[in-house]
Structure formats: C-alpha cells, structure tokens
Chains A and B, each alone.
Chain A
Amino acid sequence: MRENPATMTSPKLCVVDYGMGNVASVVNAFEFLGVEAEVTSSPAALERADAIILPGVGAFGEAMENLHARDLVDALDTAVRGPARKPFLGICLGMQLVAAESSELGQTRGLGWIEGKVRALPADETHVSPHVGWLDIEFNDADPLFARIPQDGCFYFDHSYYLEVAGYTSGVARYGQPFTAVLRADNIFGTQFHPEKSQRNGLKLLRNFVNYCLARRNAEAA
C-alpha cells in the first residue's frame, strides 16, 4: 500500500491554544506553506503530534497559569523532554516560557527547560519600551532554522521583556543591549520575534522548522 503523499511530506504540527496567542496568524502562515497545523488545548493532542508550536502574546504569569489550568505543563514536558524529544518552537512569549523564571509582574517560574531568566527591557531616551518593529539579527549559520536566510535579515519584534543571552542563544539582536532573538537547545527552538509576521524571512524560517521536523522523522524511520 502506498502512503498518502500528504502525510509523507507534512509533519503533524500542533499549535497550542492556551488563550494567550495569535493562534490564527501562526496557523495562517503554516497554511501558506501548505502545512496543516492543528490548533489544540488538549494534552492528548500533544501526544499524537510530531512537533509542537507554542505561540504567545501577553503576560508571563497569566500564560503559566493558563498552561497549568489546562494540564498542559506536564504534557508539554513529556512531549518535548521525554524520550520522543519532539521538535518544539516557541514564539515570542512562547519562547520566554521555556526559561526558568521571569521578573514580569513579580517572579514567576517558567517551564524551566533552560536556565535563562526573562527580564524587562530597560527603557531610555532612544530605546522606548515596548520594543516594536523590524530588527536585523546575527545568527549561527549552522542552525537549521536559518537556511536560505541572509545574515542581515530582518524580523518583526513586539515585546517589553527579553531573554538574557547565554549558551542556548543561537541568534542575537541588539536593542540598547544584546538579547536572545533565537534560542536553540537540541530539539527546542524559540524566537523572540514573530516569524508569522515577518513576511518572507519569517515564512522561510517556519519552512526550515518544518524541514527540520521532517528530517528528524526520516532519521527516526531509517
């Protein structure tokens, strides 16, 4: 029996809906790429998925509360850090949640998958907060997310908090000071910017993530 070509070329993506995200925009971008993305808030769906996308707009504390309220914290942990090591992409707040803790509106513990801390962007005369707009980033060419993206490529940012730069940082942006624009820790990826809102470069990055998921799946099948 031949396998359905669509399922061969398309990983099963799960976009986590926990009441904090521009879920529609993320799904829309994957739709443009011809990749179906299931919107879900059910822990069981994460078990079935090949890869997980955690979008997010809003406050850190409320986001963690919402994840807990939907029993998603353990499910995410099992899917991403368990034996399946499913590819994970956190976007904006979704990336920050991966960190150990955030100082947004009091100290809040995050998912704690990396040691980093999330802090407020300091505002001054030339660097107003929130930081809104397009910014070029410097990135690690070896990271599969950046295939076919030029080094001075711009992405769209909209945030008031940032993840400090550390070993997991694979793309750096500067707004007054350097901050993590892209994080990579094995199967865990995150972008502080919004690839779904970054026109061509953003769509390329999402395509690269899909390609990474496929490569992983093929490697496991072989």
Chain B
Amino acid sequence: MTKRRIIGTLILRDGIVVQSIGFERYLPVGRPEIAARFLDTWGIDEIVLLDITARREGRTIDPETVSRVARAIHSPLTIGGGLSTLDDVHDVMRAGADKIAVNGLLLEKPDMLTTIAHRFGVQCIVASIDVLRTDDGLHVAADGARQILDDDPVTLARRAAEAGAGEILLNAVHRDGMRTGYDLELVDMVAGAVHVPVIALGGAGHPDHIREVLADTGAAAAAAGNFLHYTEHSVAAIKTQLVRHGLDVRLDAEADYGALQFDDGRVSRRDERALLDEIFEIIPREVI
C-alpha cells in the first residue's frame, strides 16, 4: 500500500522561509535551499515551496530560487507562487519543480488549470485551497485570506479536481500556526468528496495531530510547516512516533529515534544520565 506522506511546507516571503501564524504574523526561518535540505536529509516525503506574496506583487516565484532548492534535495518538489501561464509553469518545471501548486489561478481562471493539465498532466497540478472557519461555517478564503468568498470548500475541491487538479492541498487558515491539531472535520469532508489525494495542512504541533489526521480522516498526506522547523531531525522523530502507533509511513533512518519524545510540540528535554546510559553502536557510513 502507498505510504501515508508527511509533507514539509516552506512558506517563502521576500525570498526567505518564514513560519506563518494565522496568515498574519511571520517569523523568519532562513534561506529556502537550506531549510529544504534539512527536511530532505531528515526524511521528508515531499516538499512544497509557496511564495505567498508573488501573486499580490504581480510576479511569479523566482525560478532561480526554485533551481537552488531543487538542487539541494532528492525528493519531490511542488512549487507555488503567482503561476498563471503555460510559460510560468514551464519555467519552474525547467528549474526543477515536479509539480505546481495553484491557488489564485484556481479561483480566477479555472480554465487555465485545465490547459496546464493537458500540457503537463494532472499528476503535476496541486490545487491549494485556503479555508477559514467562521461562526457561520466553512468558507473559501482568497488572496492570502484577505477575502472571504461565498464558495464552500467541498464544491471548490470538486471543481478543482474536475478542472484537472491531481491533488488538493487543503489549508485551514484558522489553524495556521496554532499547533492545536488539524481541522479533522474539514479534512474528512473534502477527502470524502473527491477522488484525488487530499493533503491536510494547518495546525500540526504534535506527532499525535499527524496521527489523528492520517488515521481518522481520508487524507492521503499530512503537511506541516512551522512544526518541522527548529527541531533537529524533526521528520524522523515524528515518523518514529507514527510507526509506533501502527501508521504505514516511510521511515528510512539508520539511527533509532525511539527515545525522542514530544511534549507540547517540542522534543522533550532528556536527563543527561539517560544520554550517558545510551549505548552507541558505530554504523559505518555508507557511500552511495
């Protein structure tokens, strides 16, 4: 069976990767190629790089940046940020992208999505849908959640799949940076309504959150941004917890991360004596 995927989302703002909180506040992380390389070596299953200001500034994500990130990793790379034409898509694919993510284009020119799908294949297109939960229900958000639309997420997801999207990246704006877990109801609703893989994003703050969204909803993959930064080997440590709970994820690590526990979204501080007691086994480095 295909492994459940853990996807790293890198949010690009003014050329650097940031942590995003509620689509409003941003904390700097660093250069995209370095953030990407860390995730890749820690065993991430895919990387999504989104330039969140490109469309608003009337430009596309810088293909040179895409190229630097692509050269830093050996895992699948999805690129989003102001892509509107076949040429835009061609440029980022040429720079090393494997897939593209579209958000504004899906809302403004869904026909263009179909044109891109015909040229590059549906497997190449990820429809990124931002959703905001308000007092009167779930709404699609546009322009970096500055606008709330009347559309409901299920209808838009179906429309995206019909227009030629091969995957749906479903971002819960109200959970962005909250570390309180995914919006399981939203994810399950959308995943149950479309026949393409749905990637849940927004809210991860603990391995249990990822376990919940993969075990209790129809999501094919869980994406996280903030949660994966600032913890060494975060991906391998998280996957170790998921495997322990019986989830079928790809854990290709030579070291044993079993002793790393999470509390409150951070790896717990360990007693120094525990470290002293650990018996290290020397594994000769394998040269590929």
Q: Give chain A interface residues in 150-165, CB to chain B under 8 Å.
A: 154, 156-160
Asked if A25 contacts B96 (CB within 8 A), the reply is yes
Q: How far is the CA of A135 from the CA of B2 in the complex (A)?
A: 5
Asked if A196 contacts B67 (CB within 8 A), the reply is no
Tell whether A184 is near chain B: CB-to-CB under 8 Å. Answer: no
Tell whether A86 is near chain B: CB-to-CB under 8 Å. Answer: no
A9 to chain B, nearest CB (A): 14
Asked if A203 contacts B75 (CB within 8 A), the reply is no
B89 to chain A, nearest CB (A): 12
Q: Give chain B interface residues in 194-252, CB to chain A under 8 Å.
A: 195-197, 220-221, 250, 252
Q: How far is the CA of A197 from the CA of B97 in the complex (A)?
A: 11
Tell whether B167 is near chain A: CB-to-CB under 8 Å. Answer: yes
**A interface residue count range (under 10 / 10 to 19 / 20 to 34 / 35 or more):** 35 or more
Q: Is the interface of B mostly helix, strand, loop or mixed?
A: loop
Number of interface residues of B (CB under 8 A): 40
Residues of A within 8 A of B29 (CB): none
Tell whether A134 is near chain B: CB-to-CB under 8 Å. Answer: yes
Tell whether B120 is near chain A: CB-to-CB under 8 Å. Answer: yes
A93 to chain B, nearest CB (A): 9
Interface 9-mer from B121-129, B136-144, B180-188, B276-284 = B121-129
Instruction: Identify which of A28, A135, A158 contacts B3 (C-beta below 8 A).
Output: A135
Instruction: Identify which of A24, A31, A200 contacts B252 (C-beta below 8 A).
Output: A200
Tell whether B56 is near chain A: CB-to-CB under 8 Å. Answer: no
Asked if B75 contacts A199 (CB within 8 A), the reply is yes
Asked if B45 contacts A134 (CB within 8 A), the reply is yes
Tell whether A178 is near chain B: CB-to-CB under 8 Å. Answer: no
Q: Give chain A interface residues in 104-125, CB to chain B under 8 Å.
A: 123
Q: How far is the CA of A177 from the CA of B213 in the complex (A)?
A: 26
Asked if B124 contacts A57 (CB within 8 A), the reply is yes
Tell whether B76 is near chain A: CB-to-CB under 8 Å. Answer: yes
Q: How far is the CA of A178 from the CA of B4 in the complex (A)?
A: 19
Residues of A within 8 A of B74 (CB): 28-29, 32, 196-199, 202-203
Tell whether B174 is near chain A: CB-to-CB under 8 Å. Answer: no
Kindly name the residue among B95, B122, B166, B288 whose own CB sees the greatest number of chain A CB atoms within 10 A: B288
A-B contact count (CB 8 A): 112
Residues of B within 8 A of A28 (CB): 70-71, 74, 96
Q: How far is the CA of A100 from the CA of B156 in the complex (A)?
A: 39
Tell whether B93 is near chain A: CB-to-CB under 8 Å. Answer: yes
A132 to chain B, nearest CB (A): 6
Complex interface bits, B103-120 against A, C-beta within 8 A gives 1, otherwise 0? 000000000000000111
Tell whether B43 is near chain A: CB-to-CB under 8 Å. Answer: yes
CB-CB under 8 A for A133 and B121, given A32-B74, A154-B250, A200-B288: no
Q: How far is the CA of A32 from the CA of B252 in the complex (A)?
A: 19
Asked if A128 contacts B98 (CB within 8 A), the reply is no
Contact residues of B with A, CB < 8 Å?
1-5, 40, 43, 45, 67, 70-71, 74-77, 93-99, 118-124, 166-167, 195-197, 220-221, 250, 252, 286, 288
* 27 residue pairs bridging A and B, Cβ less than 8 Å apart: A22-B93, A22-B96, A22-B98, A28-B70, A29-B74, A32-B74, A57-B120, A57-B121, A57-B124, A128-B197, A130-B122, A130-B123, A131-B2, A134-B3, A134-B5, A135-B1, A148-B286, A154-B3, A154-B252, A156-B75, A158-B99, A159-B123, A160-B121, A198-B75, A200-B252, A201-B252, A202-B74
